[in-house]
Structure 1
Amino acid sequence: MKADISDAAAVSELFAVAEAAFGGIDVLVNNAGVMTLSTTADTDDATFDRQIAINLKGTFNILREAAKRLRDNGRIINFSSSVVALLQPTYGVYAATKAGVEAMTSIFAKELRGRNIIVNSVAPARPPYLCPYFAAKAAMDSLAVSYASELVRWGIETSIIVSGAFTKGTNHFAHSG
């Protein structure tokens, strides 16, 4: 069953259907989320509201219903993001919503004491073997943005071009086929 987790009634129905199908709920994996990147100044209200509604309010709706319906000795896994710690430009709203998920997860775990329900959040990150690539890329991106901002003061508009990078969409890995 699909459900809009930003809608409390839809979440309640989702839990009811799962209970009817499986006789109860023991494990909850809360991985719904959306990410739209833009600077704070360029983020419109609709984009802000959508990310808050799904990432933060949706997590709240799921946890509230789980508090009432998850069986004792259960498990809850909420998905956060490694961007919470990175604090990169254009990730402001998304990182804020995922920081909220982390805070709610910690508090919710304390609120469920006595029921032996384990509540965790996971923040998917980059594989360790790719860390040198991402560190180098971040350094190059930072340098390029720094140069660009310096040149703007002189009225020189810039474009950042990475030669030899053949990518599709927002993926930073070259595709060979």
Structure 2
Amino acid sequence: MTCVSPLDALVQASRCLAHPELVAAIDSALRRGVVRRDEVACIRPALDRALIDADPSAESGLESLTRLAIRDLGLHVEPQASIVGVGSVDLLVEGCVIVELDGATHRTSQQQRRDHDRDAVAMASGYTPLRFDYVQVIGRRELVARAVVNAVRTHRSVKSPGRVVRVAQMRLDATTRT
């Protein structure tokens, strides 16, 4: 079996992968430290655009693919954003929608419980959390993007929630003080 260097693998991948998948591969190689940004920049012009879009903070290919899909719609995406009380989140979109991408480690009931707790803290802090899995990101990326866009729209329209929510909030505040 012949092995190639990570850099050679990226060159070969650039010949057959679509742009988002190539960015995901570069993100992973940069994060793992098996290539440097300047090495990738020197090898092949076809990698130039992918390198511009690469972000070594991406912890998975799912993050890379989702980040690009959302960013290409014109929304601001902050990868690995840190939120007080919640911790690091995969993507923060427009400062209000948290996008978490769940891989195989999120299948245990213990991990799911932690995820639900984090989501509740995020909601209590004024964020809208969304969770997607591998099948959704790979097979239904347009649905994922549409859900994020609508979550941002909904979040922004609820900034002036009206009398019912104000009364509910006052009651909630009153019960937590006692």
TM-score, length-scaled by structure 1: 0.27
Which protein, 1 or 2, shows the higher relative CO under an 8 Å CA cutoff with sep ≥ 6?
1
Q: Please say which structure displays the higher CA radius of gyration.
A: 1
TM-score, length-scaled by structure 2: 0.27
